[in-house]
Amino acid sequence: MPQFLIDLRSYEFLQNALMACVLSSFASGIIGSYVVVRRISYLAGSISHTILGGIGAVLFFNAVYPQAQIDPLFGAGATAVIAAIIIGLVSLHAKQREDTVISAMWSVGMATGIVFIAKTPGYASDLMGYLFGNILMVTQRDLWVIGVLDVLVATIALIFYNQFLAICFDEEFASLRGLNVDAYYLSLLCMTALTVVALVTVVGIVMCIALLTLPAAIASLFSNSLWKIMLISTLLSVIFTTSGLVLSYSPDIPPGATTILISGMTYLLAVVFRRLLSRGPML
Amino acid sequence: MSNEQSSAVEIQGLNFSYNGFMILQDVDLTINLRDFVSVVGPNGGGKTTLLKIILGLLKPTSGTVQLFGANPSKSKKRVGYMPQHAKFDFQFPATVMDVALMGRLGNSTRFGPYTKHDREICMHKLEQVKLAHSFRKSFASLSGGQRQRVFIARALACEPDLLLLDEPTSNLDQGIESEVYELFQELNRTITIVLVSHDLGFVSRYVKRVVCVKRRVVTHPTTEITGELINAIYGAPMKMVRHDRHDCEGTGSCHNF
């Protein structure tokens, strides 16, 4: 801990990492709450894994055309949004085979990424970074991207809060009130996709679902309104990511994994605590 | 809006089948403005299907449906709907007020927070279903009957011209049920009400007409008959459906209800 604070002053990469933790928490807290109450974390998981396909494609492209040098985050963002729309349309229209198609997208997206990265000349260590997070490698440009995603996601999610709340609660009624339920649902998935991209920089593709959903799941144990859950889970997300970064620094363990372990343990403790509090079976 | 018409709902020659099963057949039904109609019939007879067709949630296989003289998709916002089976997530983080406010969508501003006016209307509707005191409570913590009353309040918050209620009082205590029906009767002075009910004996005290749905649809006026027999069966004075020979012609099925 003290070593972290000393180094924080002198190393820009630590400052960037800390900023990434705080910035990504806003989008994550807001969208994660929607994902948890709408019960679509499985869809979010599928979206996050297909991202590898986009990242792999960009890395390959950059290696073949070295003058291009596209930020892999853009590849990730584009893939995530396309995957979100496909998965959304599947879950709206292909009720019978929804889970099969979504799991298939999950694997096919990853397979695409692995093939591209294997065929990318040079060093393939980036793969591990994208899968498990490389927060210490976050650049200034990444921070800008995360910041813009934050503003975009937070603005839409908060302006249409009432509409999203009504749709998550009762789609049929919302559609009778004249809301285009499908459009809202798809845009919720697209915002989830963009949030996942921000989180991938912090904890990586494989672990970002836990960071997206656990803070909101903890908050929902103690709160009965969605905006409070958003507030609490944003706060929790900041705490989890920064403590993961700080605690992993001196013993030199991966910060992404540390963050997820902290989140998971806190969730377990929260469930037990909630149970003791109500002295009865959980809802 | 459409020009003033005399009927709230106008159904002609409607058929609806699902997976090859005929659910509703040859339905002609007119519900007039300020009518108060109870829809009765056996389970699986098509009552909920009929309501969903009126709302435009289901498309008829053939025939026409007009809601306030227009396609249901155009005029559905004039309806306050209360669904029967709540397939809701009862861990959902929403307060009683949050749920009631959902009725204001479509009436209120398109985005941003609800107005003070919206909140006042919802508070008034919650008062009408005797839940104003628990407006801050978690919806998940309510009893089945209380949830039903919140959904009635949500439907009222739409400030509808037609109230469409699918078994609105199936979980309510008798005392509250009477109060709710008296509220409906009061509202019926200005708006049309259609409700599905199992308890024909109870609702026929309040409604003007009864619509029997069992694949086919037959309409009856309610006529009061009192008698010891009826009292013995229902334990209360009540109205019975008089099956006009004329209305029933060709179906003959409504006596089996």
Position A193 scores a pLDDT of 95
Q: Give B58's strand partners.
A: none
pLDDT at B147 over 60: yes
Q: Which of B93, B101, B114 sits opposite A229 (nearest CB)?
A: B93
| Angstrom distance (rounded) from CA B8 to CA B19 | 30
More confident position, B37 or B107? B37
Is there a contact between A172 and B83 if contact means CB atoms under 8 Å apart?
yes
The pLDDT tens digits of the residues spanning A154-163 come to: 999 889 999 9
Q: Is the pLDDT of residue A70 over 70?
A: yes
**Separation CA B199–CA A11 (nearest Å):** 75
Question: Could you tell me if B106 lies within 8 Å of chain A, comparing CB atoms?
Answer: yes
End-to-end CA separation in angstroms for chain A: 39
CATH number at residue A265: 1.10.3470.10
Residues A7-21 have a mean pLDDT of 92
Q: How far apart are CA B171 and CA A54, in angstroms?
A: 53
Mean pLDDT of B187-215: 85
The predicted model gives B221-235 an average pLDDT of 44
CA distances from A144 to A10, A12, A13, A150 (A): 21, 15, 15, 10
Give A173-216 pLDDT, tens digit per residue.
999 999 999 999 999 999 999 999 999 988 999 999 999 999 99
Give domain status of residue A255, yes or no.
yes
In a domain, A282, yes or no: no
Cβ–Cβ contact A158 with B under 8 A: no
Domain that holds residue A40: 2-277
Return the higher-pLDDT residue of A235 and B239.
Answer: A235
pLDDT for the residue numbered B220? 75
Per-residue pLDDT of B51-65, as tens digits, reads: 999 999 999 999 999
Instruction: Judge whether residue B221 has pLDDT over 80.
Output: no
In a domain, A183, yes or no: yes
A226 touches chain B (CB under 8 A): yes
Q: Does A67 touch chain B (CB under 8 A)?
A: no
Dihedral, B122, B128, B130, B132 alpha carbons, nearest 10 = 30
Evaluate if residue A55 carries a pLDDT over 60: yes
% of residues, chain B, pLDDT over 90:
52
Q: What percent of chain A has pLDDT over 70?
A: 96
pLDDT of residue A73: 86
Say yes or no: A220 contacts chain B, CB-CB below 8 A. yes
Q: Is B7 helix (H, G, I), strand (E, B) or coil?
A: strand
Total count of domains within chain A: 1
Q: Model pTM? A: 0.88
* pLDDT of A25 over the 60 cut: yes
Of the pLDDT bands very low, low, confident and very high (cuts 50, 70, 90), residue A282 is: very low
Q: Which range (A44-58, B80-94, B215-229) has the least confidence?
A: B215-229
Output the six-digit token pair for B39. 């829809």
Amino acid at B9: V
Q: Report pLDDT for B20.
A: 85
Distance separating alpha carbons of residues B31 and B69, to the nearest angstrom: 12
Tell me, yes or no, if A216 comes closer than 8 A to chain B by beta carbon: no
Type of residue numbered B93: P
Mean pLDDT to the nearest integer, B158-173: 91
pLDDT at B248 over 50: no
**Res B237: pLDDT:** 46
pLDDT at A31 over 50: yes
**Least confident segment among A24-38, A112-126, A243-257, B107-121:** A112-126
Residue B214's pLDDT band, with cuts at 50, 70 and 90, is confident
Residue of A170, A221, A222, A227 for testing the chain B interface, max B β-carbons within 10 Å: A170
- Going by C-alpha positions, the residue among A117, A143, A2, A126 that lies closest to residue A60 is A117
Q: Which chain A residues have a beta carbon less than 8 Å from that of B114?
A: 162
User: Can you tell me the distance from the alpha carbon of B43 to that of B31, in angstroms, rounded to the nearest whole number?
Assistant: 22
pLDDT in the model for residue B45: 83
User: Of A237, A243, A253, which is closest to residue A198 (Cα–Cα)?
Assistant: A237
User: What are chain B's domains?
Assistant: 7-256 (3.40.50.300)
**pLDDT for the residue numbered A162:** 94
Q: What is the pLDDT of residue B86?
A: 64
CB contacts of A231 in chain B (<8 Å) are none
Q: Does A283 reside within a domain? A: no
**More confident call, B222 vs A110:** A110
| Helices assigned H by DSSP within chain A | 2-10, 12-38, 41-64, 72-93, 98-119, 126-132, 140-159, 161-169, 171-176, 181-203, 208-222, 226-249, 255-278
Lowest-pLDDT range of A2-11, A205-214, B203-212: B203-212
Lowest mean pLDDT among A27-31, A58-62, A263-267, B89-93: B89-93
pLDDT-based confidence at B201, cuts 50/70/90? confident
In a domain, A58, yes or no: yes
**B134 token code pair:** 């628990």
**A68 neighbors A62 (Cβ within 8 angstroms):** yes
In the predicted model, is pLDDT for residue B2 greater than 50?
A: no
Question: In this model, does residue A82 exceed pLDDT 90?
Answer: yes
> Sorting pLDDT into bands at 50, 70 and 90, what band is B192?
very high
How much is the ipTM here? 0.87
- For residues B197-202, give the mean pLDDT: 74
d(Cα B221, Cα B242) in Å, to the nearest integer?
A: 7
- pLDDT value of residue A66: 84
3-state secondary structure of B32: strand
Burial class (CB in 10 A: 0-12, 13-18, 19+), A269: exposed
Distance CA A49, CA A42 (A): 11
The answer to whether the Cβ–Cβ distance between B95 and A225 falls below 8 Å is yes
pLDDT at B44: 80
H or E stretch including B183? helix B174-187
